[in-house]
Amino acid sequence: MKGKRGEWPDKVVALLNDAGKPAEQNGDAVPAGEPGPAAEPATTATLKTYERVTVTESIKHTFTMAELAELADQMGAAASRVFQIEIEKAERAAHYAALLKEANRAHAELVSKFVQRYEMRDVECRVEFDTPEAGYKSFIRLDNGVSIREVRMTEAEKQRAFVFDAGDGKPQ
């Protein structure tokens, strides 16, 4: 299509009918080899315009100082929210870390008892000197009276002070 801007070549004008569509689409098709209908001169023909089309394009926008100040306020609020969430996360993480540590300790203790098949418990005992024989002492459980061990007495224990009853003069 050659021509100056704003001018339509004769071929284009001839192909357009009153509705602005090519003649072939309106059923006014011309058989091959026959000349088409006479075209009006380009200067007297009414040209149809296209419908308006609106599109959105992205273009660069440089912020004003007021817009930059607004962005700075929004950045400050967003940063504050981030820090608040991080602090809350750290607090909850510390709480859950403590819970997890306690749960792991309890689990390890149970595993140890299961693997060893026993645990050490504190029980109250009385000590009987010179039992089962002289120079030994026995540790007897108070809850069931069973001797749990016998060991040799130390020299200090052998030399302990004898307590006499004031009435009969025999050691106790």
Note the pLDDT tens digit of each residue in 116-129.
999 999 999 999 99
48-84 pLDDT tens trace: 788 888 899 999 999 999 999 999 999 999 999 999 9
What is the token pair recorded at 77? 């609020």
Find, among 158, 111, 149, the residue nearest to 130 by Cα: 158
Compute the distance between CA of residue 54 and CA of residue 40 in angstroms, rounded to an integer: 33
Binned at pLDDT 50, 70 and 90, residue 19 comes out as very low
Name the pTM for this structure: 0.41
How far apart CA 127 and CA 138 sit, in angstroms, is: 6
pLDDT in tens, 81-94: 999 999 999 999 99
